[in-house]
């Protein structure tokens, strides 16, 4: 962590500039929370009027504030912020939280004010959090510079970084009801200086934080975020809720790749690369957070379900399947032992249905047996209000079994009043409990995903040795931006990066065409060569299946005369002769440069139907081994490469290699904005890029 | 409703057989609940020992029970049930709820007991609910024959019919915490006599029930359920939660249709046909139920979002998009009026962000303006704990606006303790409130779906006039079950139902082949004709693109000799000659007879990749206009028929017609178990079934 962030994290003294004794003012709320938080450093207030607040003097000038003080919280009108920052500098304060609003968020006038403030802060060597934020709090240090309605959040080990201030009050209040405690909460505001990545780093170093949660609307610096999050996620789990999924989803559709590469795909690919778990809702984010903070990780995806009722067991089985967990196959010994404990009508196939009569002791003994089974990686216990006992008794009986195991156990504790006490028992023991099996299954799934993530040793794929960057840059010299590269340059570029293209040679008269064709193996294909013609087939500029010398000679003349007829003004350089390409599978490989995150690589089913079938997947460059595997495994186009029914298998390795080469090309040649190979034809051995388009 | 069900619904007197004074026995629970329910009819107890229970006499024999009594609740050991039923008959009781377990659910021995019980009950003219159920309750009549832990559910207008008894206690308790009240609850048990459809009918007639909810594991009689539910759903909404989604998902894969037609697709298609809304979770089921019970229906899908904070507004916009609702385009007048109420930094583009300072009055005035906008069909109000006011004040200010509008309003009331009082205000006023925007969006979506369902006037498609059933039955006479029909019978069958197939004629020697080909237009295709060969291309039995008389003659001889070589034992009848079929789009149309629900019709992308792409959709026969539209609109294969980029459009009408014909064929010819047309080639005008397989 940058040491200049220290005063935000462990301030020695805090001054509230704009403190107020009027309870309807934010300046009152901040003063109240700071005092009530139990902050042990200096607490100081500055306001326009001298006075007394919460038993402390109110100063009229920052210069009057005594030591210690190293953090200022500003709740003054926006136009006054810059001058207060100057006073901070004079008082030797180099960290400020600007709660004041009226900046970028209100439009152009505010944006100017914000720019000026940022500049002055930089000159004065002051770091800023905000503006337009609600501050930050730390339940352990403790410290609270927010104006959130009391009480302060429950102490815990989940940190919450939020790009929406307003959501914080709701989340803290809701989380309290769920028994979730926070270590830190940081509201980012407009991010005039400190960014989400700065705070991610700072919070990750906090020893009281076990899991980081993150409400994101947008990311300032994509590559920096991905790099830092990837480093941190190896140490502590990061969970993100990305809002604005459907905003500006579509780009201008210059290519299929462009049309399909929505902004949300870029975020998705970035989160995957960074090892950030992406939650679908706030509820899911905090369900995952509390589970990751308290549960041991499983070594696999085989889950046993223990229930006292059939219906919820079936729902649990559905829910596990839906999140890609599997029902464990219990060992015969486990089943045998469990059967001796239960009535004859009990269900002994996972889910284990103990029937409604199950006592606390039976619950505990069965759970113990399930956890001892080597084929079980985790257990979901289902506990609706039992007819014969209290849920609390059952909860108490389970504690020592769960705490004694190295495998995760989550509880589907179904009901409300009748399970309230049991809920308190589990929460106190830090055992995750959810109202429905669906949420419990989702929690188990994130544990499995975390375990798999930590196990994966995953490196970026190396740069292939035979990439010719200098020659490629030379090709692109002087090409004007926003244009599509001509075909021969495109082919050359591909060859420089080892991406196979059809062997095509230019013939400038009919005789030469005949000779070139004869040297190649018949049949050949002939195509008009013209810098002015993009879609050759539209102008009669392609002839297929040319089988003899004589046909080749004729074809040259026919092509030239046809195109002269259809496009009299086009410059015709001659005719390209190339070998007919054999049959094979066809895929699309594309890349587009995302403004936020850099090159995205796309793979999937190609052809003209790519936008209809949407059988595609995206990753960010540079590609890793696992990401390339994912591209292939998550699409039908990729699965099909291994063969399907009467479709023979094709060369998946060459596809992976080409994906990697394309990724390197995009990383190394920054003026390329878009590439699309559609289709790449893939044979049993090898592949060839039949149609390539490159945008500069 | 069948009058024999009357005593279950409005009994005059109830006797508990197996009542107990031991609080750990179910017989105690039933007696306690019946007494506490406030049931106004006769309450009687029978047990093996005379005595007194809850101030009432306990009789040793049913014969001693005085009038009125018309419903018996049995909690005696399973083997004793039949003899108690005999006593019921003698006491002139013709309705019994059998709570006792130990029947079908424990295996073969119990199943025998259950069969005997059913038989005896039928003989004695006694209707049965159960066995192995927890009984039923009615909060209005009132009546409670269950042993559920007290208190009884809150009175309300949602009925709950459940095939799991155990889930009832959890659901009732959870629903109480959510402020959801029940009209009736019925636990179905093993359904030895009364089925889910019987009870659906009975509950639908209840004037206190506005919405029916249904926990389903399986359905006894599919067509009866679909018919009855379709009738009822026009009057009252039905919501189902189907458990066991992933059970026996795959069938033996004789055809693509068979491999893809999972049991869950059949339930999905049945619910769609019946107008039953299918919830993904218990939570969603009851969110929908309480919303449908209390909200007016919208006339469209255009939703306005009113918020005091940006973040939740963005989440709400995402959530609306995810459930296929749209953000309303507000009229300029509305925006103008709202702008005068709000500070300059407020967001005036839907979502309307009033900023954190929004007062109760501002909330109410803005909501009123949104509801008055003709381009707004419904509103989601977002209410996190407001910094300056209490959520309760805001809730109170909104009541009259919401109640005064004919448009639906749902609240995303975010938090826990800080919004508790506001929650009570809304619940009392029957205004749906949810903790997160996602649930609120889902509730609005079900209202829109309900409105659209009620508006749709939808008839089964009529039987095309030129279907030749008698001739078709004749073809199938004597065909042994479980076999695939031979090609010429298959073609004849298709022709009988007006499904176009290639015009193919049998040639039995080379000369005849030449003549037939000459009469058709060249080019033609020739295929070996043999009852023993299914996959002709595998044995060299197909020749394409035959252009002359001479080629036709040669082709006959080549085909015969090739196949004689590859399949020496096959009976060769000759060669089929048919015209080459022009290019076109290709789709798959299939049907399989579901055990539960009858013929399912499948439509989608055909070819060999159908199982990989899974671009398919299912409906139940008979098809309706809207269902056929759905088949086409929900698949890429169907959308593509309207043309896409350089793919020309194709004849969607003929596809619809063929779907209808296939549906009639399956309905009328019950010995056909499976048909697959893959591909059906579709031209600009017309279509032809290139490959058809029929299983008997």
pLDDT at A249: 40
Best of B28, B100, B160, B166 to mutate (most A CBs within 10 Å, chain A): B166
The residue with greater pLDDT, A538 or A207, is: A207
Residue A37 has pLDDT above 80, yes or no: yes
Checking DSSP bridges between strand B687-689 and strand A542-546, what pairing results, if any? unpaired
**Using 50, 70 and 90 to split pLDDT, how confident is the model at B251?**
very low
Contact B318 A646 (CB under 8 A): no
For A559-573, write each residue's pLDDT tens digit.
999 889 888 888 899
Is A169 within 8 Å of B244 when comparing Cβ atoms? no
**β pairing state of A616-620 and A598-605:** antiparallel
Nearest chain B residue to A348, by CA: B106
Residue with tokens 């589907």: A412
Beta bridge partners of B296: none
Show the tokens assigned to B235: 């009057």
SS3 A11: coil
**Which element (helix H / strand E) includes A372?**
helix A360-372
CB–CB of A3/A61 below 8 Å?
no
**Residue in A24, A32, A162, A170 to test binding to B, most B beta-carbons within 10 Å:** A170
CB atoms within 10 A of CB A312: 29
Summarize pLDDT for B403-433 with one digit per residue, the tens.
999 999 999 999 999 999 999 999 999 999 9
Local confidence band at A1 (pLDDT 50, 70, 90 cut-offs)? confident
Residue-wise pLDDT tens digits, A361-404: 999 999 999 999 999 999 999 999 988 789 999 999 999 999 99
Residues 6+ positions from B127 with CB-CB distance below 8 Å: B4, B5, B7, B8, B94, B95, B96, B121, B193, B194
**Would you call A436 and B167 a contact, using CB atoms and an 8 Å cutoff?**
no
- pLDDT per residue over B532-583, tens digit each? 876 676 777 888 888 899 999 999 999 999 889 888 888 899 999 988 888 8
Is the pLDDT score of A306 beyond 90? yes
Domain boundaries, chain A: 3-209, 296-455, 503-579, 585-695
Fold category of B296-455 in CATH? Rossmann fold (3.40.50)
Strands, DSSP E only, in A272-360?
A: 277-278, 302-307, 326-327, 352-353
pLDDT value, residue B407: 98
Condensed to tens digits (0 to 9), the pLDDT of residues B584-607 reads 999 999 999 998 899 999 999 987
Using the predicted structure, report yes or no on whether residue A148 has a pLDDT greater than 50.
yes
The per-residue pLDDT for range A614-631, each reduced to its tens digit, is 899 999 999 999 999 999
Q: How sure is the predictor about A263, in pLDDT bands with cuts at 50, 70 and 90?
A: confident
Count of residues for chain A?
Answer: 696
Cis peptide before A151 (omega within 30 of 0): yes
- Cα gap B301→B304, rounded to integer Å: 10
Confirm whether pTM is higher than 0.80.
yes
Partner residue facing A414 (CB), from B174, B416, B615: B174
Q: B585-695 has which fold?
A: D-amino Acid Aminotransferase; Chain A, domain 1 (3.30.470)
Burial class for B111, CB neighbours closer than 10 Å (0-12, 13-18, 19+): middle
Residue A667 has pLDDT above 70, yes or no: yes
> Which one is predicted more confidently, B259 or B525?
B525
Residues of B in contact with A640 (CB under 8 A): 609, 612
User: How do residues A119-135 score in pLDDT, each as one tens digit?
Assistant: 999 999 999 999 999 99
Q: At residue B250, does pLDDT exceed 60?
A: no
Residue B247, pLDDT > 80, answer no
CA A263 to CA A282: how far, in whole Å?
21
Residues of B in contact with A321 (CB under 8 A): 245-246
- Poorest-pLDDT segment among A34-43, B66-75, B612-621: B612-621
For residue range B521-542, what is the model confidence (pLDDT) as tens digits? 888 999 898 878 766 767 778 8
Task: Share the mean pLDDT of chain A.
Answer: 92
Asked whether residue A250 carries a pLDDT value surpassing 60, the answer given is no
Residue of chain B minimizing CA distance to A641? B612
* Sole residue written with tokens 């699409």: A635
pLDDT at B264 > cutoff 90: no
CATH of domain A503-579: 3.30.1490.20
B174:A281 CB<8 A: no
The alpha carbon of residue A243 is apart from the nearest alpha carbon of chain B, in Å, by: 6
Mean pLDDT on A280-300: 96
Confidence of residue B254 (pLDDT cuts 50, 70, 90): low
The predicted structure's pLDDT at residue B472: 95
Q: Look at residue B245 in the predicted model and tell me its pLDDT.
A: 75
Q: What is the mean pLDDT of residues A156-161?
A: 97
Class of domain B3-209: alpha beta
pLDDT of the residue at A535: 65
Query: Which of A680-694, B236-250, B282-296 shows the lowest per-residue confidence on average (mean pLDDT)?
Result: B236-250
A436 near A419, Cβ under 8 Å?
no
The Cα–Cα gap between B553 and B560 comes to 11
DSSP-derived 3-state class of residue B137: strand
Helix axes B310-322, B437-455, angle to 10 degrees: 40
Same fold, B3-209 and B296-455: yes
pLDDT digits (tens, 9 = 90+) for B170-212: 999 999 999 999 999 999 999 999 999 999 999 999 999 999 9
> What Rg value do the Cα atoms of chain B yield, rounded?
32
pLDDT at residue B252 greater than cutoff 50: no
- Average pLDDT on A538-564 reads 88
DSSP element (H, E) containing A290: helix A282-294
Express each pLDDT in A38-79 by its tens digit: 999 999 999 999 999 999 999 999 999 999 999 999 999 999
Instruction: Identify the CA nearest to B618 among candidates B593, B649, B584.
Output: B593
A450 neighbors A292 (Cβ within 8 angstroms): yes
Calpha distance A543→A50 (Å, rounded): 91
Measure CB to CB from residue A281 to each of B163, B438, B646 and give the nearest one. Answer: B438
What is the pLDDT, as a whole number, of residue B583?
86
Split at pLDDT 50, 70, 90, the class of A510 is: very high
Strand partners, B647: B644
Residues of chain B positioned with their CB less than 8 A from the CB of A280: 438
CA distances from B688 to A417, B502, B584, B651 (A): 63, 6, 10, 11
Chain B residues within 8 A of A177 when measuring between CB atoms = 415-417
Tell me the sheet residues that pair with B174. none
Find the Cα–Cα–Cα–Cα dihedral B217, B222, B228, B229, rounded to 10°.
40
Q: How is residue B104 annotated by DSSP?
A: G
- Whether A416 and B176 lie within 8 Å, measured CB to CB: yes
User: What CATH architecture does domain B503-580 belong to?
Assistant: 2-Layer Sandwich (3.30)
Residue B446 has pLDDT above 70, yes or no: yes
In percent, the amount of chain B with pLDDT more than 90 equals: 77
CA-nearest of B171, B161, B151, B239 to B195 is B161
Task: State percent of chain B over pLDDT 70.
Answer: 97
- Tracing tokens 């139902």 back to the chain, one arrives at B497
What does the alpha-carbon distance between residue A639 and residue A211 come to, in Å, rounded to a whole number?
A: 35
Mean pLDDT value across residues B113-119:
96
Q: Please report the beta strands in A226-385, taking only residues with DSSP state E, as ranges in sequence order.
A: 238-242, 277-278, 302-307, 326-327, 352-353, 378-383
- Are A127 and A121 contacting, i.e. CB atoms less than 8 angstroms apart? yes
Beta-carbon contacts of A464 under 8 Å, excluding residues fewer than 6 positions away, are: A498, A657, A660, A661, A664
Q: Is residue B674 over pLDDT 60? A: yes
8 Å CB contact between B290 and B432: yes
Output the pLDDT for position B535.
65
Q: What is the pLDDT of residue B306?
A: 98
* Helix residue ranges per DSSP H, A526-641: 549-566, 610-613, 625-633, 636-640
Q: Given a cut of 70, is residue A253 above it in pLDDT?
A: no
Q: Which residue of B has its CA nearest to A609?
A: B644
Q: In this predicted structure, which of A155-159, B386-390, B448-452 has the lowest mean pLDDT?
A: B386-390
B416 CB neighbours in chain A (<8 A) are 173-178
Distance from CA of A151 to the nearest CA of B (A): 10
A33-37, A384-388, A413-417, A446-450: least confident range = A384-388
């Amino acid at each position: 962590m940058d040491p200049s962030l220290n005063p935000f994290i462990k301030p020695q003294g805090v001054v509230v500039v704009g403190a107020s004794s009027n309870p309807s003012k934010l300046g009152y709320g901040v003063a109240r929370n700071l005092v009530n938080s139990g902050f042990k450093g200096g607490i100081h207030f500055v306001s326009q009027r001298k006075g007394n607040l919460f038993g402390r003097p109110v100063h009229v000038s920052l210069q009057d504030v005594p030591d210690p003080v190293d953090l200022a919280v500003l709740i003054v009108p926006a136009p006054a912020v810059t001058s207060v920052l100057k006073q901070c500098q004079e008082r030797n304060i180099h960290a400020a939280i600007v709660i004041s609003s009226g900046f970028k968020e209100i439009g152009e006038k505010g944006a100017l004010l914000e720019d000026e403030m940022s500049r002055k802060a930089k000159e004065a060597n002051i770091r800023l959090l905000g503006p337009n934020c609600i501050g930050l709090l730390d339940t352990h240090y403790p410290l609270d510079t927010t104006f959130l309605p009391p009480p302060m959040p429950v102490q815990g080990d989940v940190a919450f970084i939020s790009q929406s201030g307003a959501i914080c009050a709701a989340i803290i209040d809701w989380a309290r009801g769920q028994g979730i405690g926070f270590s830190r909460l940081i509201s980012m505001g407009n991010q005039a200086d400190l960014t989400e990545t700065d705070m991610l780093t700072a919070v990750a170093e906090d020893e009281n934080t076990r899991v980081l949660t993150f409400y994101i609307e947008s990311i300032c610096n994509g590559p920096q975020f991905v790099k830092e999050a990837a480093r941190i996620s190896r140490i502590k789990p990061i969970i993100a809720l990305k809002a604005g999924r459907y905003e500006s989803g579509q780009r201008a559709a210059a290519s299929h790749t462009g049309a399909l590469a929505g902004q949300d795909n870029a975020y998705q690919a970035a989160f995957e690369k960074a090892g950030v778990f992406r939650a679908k809702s706030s509820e899911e984010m905090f369900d995952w957070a509390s589970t990751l903070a308290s549960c041991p990780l499983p070594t696999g995806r085989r889950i046993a379900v223990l229930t006292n009722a059939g219906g919820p067991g079936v729902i649990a089985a559905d829910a596990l399947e839906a999140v890609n967990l599997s029902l464990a196959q219990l060992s015969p010994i486990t089943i045998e032992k469990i059967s001796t404990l239960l009535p004859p009508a009990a269900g002994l196939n996972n889910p284990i249905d103990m029937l409604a009569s199950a006592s606390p002791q039976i619950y505990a003994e069965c759970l113990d047996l399930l956890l001892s089974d080597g084929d079980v990686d985790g257990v979901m216990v289902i506990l609706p209000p039992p007819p014969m006992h209290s849920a609390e008794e059952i909860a108490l009986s389970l504690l020592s079994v769960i705490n004694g195991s190295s495998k995760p156990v989550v509880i589907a504790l179904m009901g409300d009043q009748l399970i309230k006490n049991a809920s308190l028992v589990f929460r106190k023991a830090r055992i995750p409990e959810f109202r429905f099996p669906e949420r419990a299954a989702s929690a188990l799934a994130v544990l499995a995903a975390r375990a798999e993530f930590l196990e994966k040793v995953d490196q970026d794929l190396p740069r292939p040795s035979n990439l010719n960057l200098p020659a490629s840059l030379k090709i692109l010299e002087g090409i004007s931006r926003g244009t599509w590269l001509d075909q021969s340059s495109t082919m050359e570029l591909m060859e420089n990066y080892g991406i196979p293209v059809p062997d095509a040679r230019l013939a400038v008269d009919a005789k030469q065409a005949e000779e070139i064709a004869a040297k190649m193996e018949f049949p050949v294909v002939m195509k008009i060569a013209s810098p002015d013609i993009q879609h050759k087939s539209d102008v009669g500029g392609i002839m297929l299946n040319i089988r003899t010398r004589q046909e080749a000679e004729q074809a040259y003349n026919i092509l030239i005369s046809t195109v002269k007829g259809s496009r009299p003004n086009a410059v015709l350089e001659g005719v390209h002769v190339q070998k007919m390409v054999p049959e094979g599978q066809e895929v699309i490989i594309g890349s587009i440069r995302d403004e936020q995150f850099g090159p995205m690589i796309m793979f999937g089913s190609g052809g003209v139907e790519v936008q209809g079938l949407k059988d595609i997947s995206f990753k960010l460059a540079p590609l890793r081994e696992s990401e390339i595997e994912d591209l292939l495994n998550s699409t039908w186009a990729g699965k099909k490469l291994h063969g399907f029914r009467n479709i023979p298998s094709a060369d998946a390795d060459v596809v992976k290699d080409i994906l990697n080469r394309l990724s390197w090309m995009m990383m190394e040649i920054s003026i390329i904005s878009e590439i699309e190979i559609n289709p790449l034809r893939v044979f049993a051995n090898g592949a060839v890029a039949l149609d390539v388009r490159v945008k500069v």
